[in-house]
């Protein structure tokens, strides 16, 4: 019935198409990272390429039913920036368009990526979060986190998300998981520098050490919708295995060091905020690691499904605990002091190779590749990974 009632609305929009172009924007709000970055990337691209002529574009936004939204506080933040239409109305418009395709409204291809590199070129589109409230500061202080001092956000992916939903994780996705234990030496180094570390995410069987300055927020009893958003958006920087909360850091234009990047097609190659440590692809019989050129010529560069890596025959070697500690230490130094021109030139070679190898899909997905491979990792692996052409 609602779809039939929406047909006259579509007819009116069709008659006004020379003056006003209506477009439906349905956000994947059931995923934390998508709720953060899909509206951000879309609005940033629109601002960077504003068109003041006719027809004027009006976006009709939907975040789906409130019960499926991954974070109520973030949804409320976005609702102060964009007008969110009830999901049943947007659903009726979509179904009406299915009935009469000629009248169907365009549906925007929202994504956490974008060729306009909006995260680098345009200020934050999502309203800024308020500071920690007095109650929040006192609560976090009771767990050892001083919000007046800088802290680093830590995001370590495991199967806990699916377990919390009563689901079984696809065994191929385990390739993307990481052991929390290997991050502990890096955390200890950060503590020695006077930085605090907050582990984000949801409850997990992997527990942080009970050390002053390390706060296992993921397993604490004080998680709230507000803190889930504020903590990654107000950190100094984030160390992550690419899942959920790190998108909030990108949203707030905070730098992120990504550990063990496997799925290049799903990575944030379109922003300088991202620094990355790649997984080593190794021949199982000879133990010979793949150079960047070999990876670029492989179908794995564009692979999206984890099972493609499982069945590829290549062995995946992740960074070790000591190497990760040294790489994080080097990353902190780079954030403070910058890099030498020689490193910038090496990174430019890497990004040129990736941009060329990813044509044409990479251009549409990322634009130019601007993320930076880790300086420490690049220096220690340059001989085999990036030999002289």
What pLDDT digit, counting tens, does each position of 250-264 carry? 999 999 999 999 999
Write down the pLDDT at residue 165: 60
The fraction of the chain above a pLDDT of 70, given in percent, is: 96
Tens digits of residue pLDDT in 193-236? 999 999 999 999 999 988 899 999 999 999 999 999 999 999 99
Write down the pLDDT at residue 163: 61
Q: Is the pLDDT of residue 387 over 70?
A: yes
Tell me the C-alpha distance between 199 and 202, whole Å: 9
Write down the pLDDT at residue 164: 61
Q: Is the pLDDT of residue 344 over 90?
A: yes
Write down the pLDDT at residue 126: 96
**Residue corresponding to tokens 């979509």:** 94
Spatial contact of 174 and 168, defined as CB atoms under 8 Å apart: no
Write down the pLDDT at residue 174: 82
Q: Is the pLDDT of residue 168 over 70?
A: no
Using pLDDT thresholds of 50, 70 and 90, give the confidence band for residue 389. low
Q: Is the pLDDT of residue 167 over 80?
A: no
Write down the pLDDT at residue 209: 86
- Average pLDDT of the chain is 93
Q: At what angle do helices 375-385 and 341-357 cross, to 10 degrees?
A: 60
Write down the pLDDT at residue 206: 92
Of 8-17, 112-121, 218-227, 354-363, where does mean pLDDT reach its minimum?
112-121
Write down the pLDDT at residue 4: 85
Write down the pLDDT at residue 118: 80
- The CA-CA-CA angle for residues 295, 296, 300, to 5°, reads 60
Of 144-153, 247-256, 306-315, where does mean pLDDT reach its minimum?
306-315
Write down the pLDDT at residue 47: 77
Q: Is the pLDDT of residue 55 over 90?
A: no
DSSP string, 272-308: TTEEEEEPEEE-TTT-PBPPHHHHHTSGGGG--SHHH
**SS3 state of residue 136:** helix
Tell me the C-alpha distance between 373 and 161, whole Å: 28
Spatial contact of 372 and 272, defined as CB atoms under 8 Å apart: yes
Question: pTM of this prediction?
Answer: 0.94
């Amino acid at each position: 019935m609602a779809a039939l009632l929406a047909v006259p609305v579509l007819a009116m929009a069709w008659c006004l198409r020379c003056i006003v172009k209506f477009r439906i924007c349905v956000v994947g709000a059931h995923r934390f990272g998508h709720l953060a970055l899909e509206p951000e990337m879309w609005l940033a691209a629109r601002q960077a390429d504003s068109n003041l002529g006719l027809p004027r574009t009006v976006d009709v936004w939907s975040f789906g039913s409130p019960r499926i939204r991954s974070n109520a506080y973030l949804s409320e933040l976005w609702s102060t920036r964009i007008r969110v239409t009830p999901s049943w109305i947007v659903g009726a418009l979509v179904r009406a368009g299915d009935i009469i395709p000629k009248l169907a409204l365009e549906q925007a291809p929202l994504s956490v990526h974008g060729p306009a590199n909006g995260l680098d070129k345009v200020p934050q589109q999502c309203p800024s979060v308020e500071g920690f409230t007095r109650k929040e500061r006192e609560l976090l202080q009771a767990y050892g986190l001083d919000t007046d001092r800088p802290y680093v956000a830590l995001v370590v992916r495991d199967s806990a998300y699916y377990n919390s939903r009563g689901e079984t994780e696809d065994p191929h996705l385990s390739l993307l998981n990481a052991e929390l234990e290997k991050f502990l030496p890096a955390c200890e180094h950060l503590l020695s520098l006077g930085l605090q570390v907050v582990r984000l995410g949801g409850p997990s069987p992997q527990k942080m050490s009970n050390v002053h300055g390390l706060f296992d927020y993921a397993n604490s009893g004080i998680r709230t919708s507000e803190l889930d958003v504020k903590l990654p958006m107000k950190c100094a920087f984030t160390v992550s295995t690419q899942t959920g909360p790190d998108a909030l850091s990108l949203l707030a234009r905070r730098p992120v060091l990504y550990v063990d990047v496997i799925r290049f097609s799903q990575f944030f190659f379109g922003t300088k905020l991202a620094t990355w440590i790649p997984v080593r692809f190794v021949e199982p019989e000879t133990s010979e690691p793949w150079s960047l050129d070999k990876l670029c010529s492989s179908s794995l560069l564009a692979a999206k499904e984890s099972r493609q890596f499982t069945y590829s025959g290549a062995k995946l070697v992740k960074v070790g605990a000591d190497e990760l500690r040294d790489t994080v230490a080097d990353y902190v130094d780079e954030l403070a002091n910058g890099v030498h021109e020689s490193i910038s030139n090496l990174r430019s070679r890497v990004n040129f190779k990736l941009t060329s190898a990813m044509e044409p899909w990479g251009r549409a997905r990322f634009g130019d590749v601007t993320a930076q491979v880790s300086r420490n990792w690049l220096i220690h692996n340059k001989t085999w990974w990036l030999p002289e052409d």
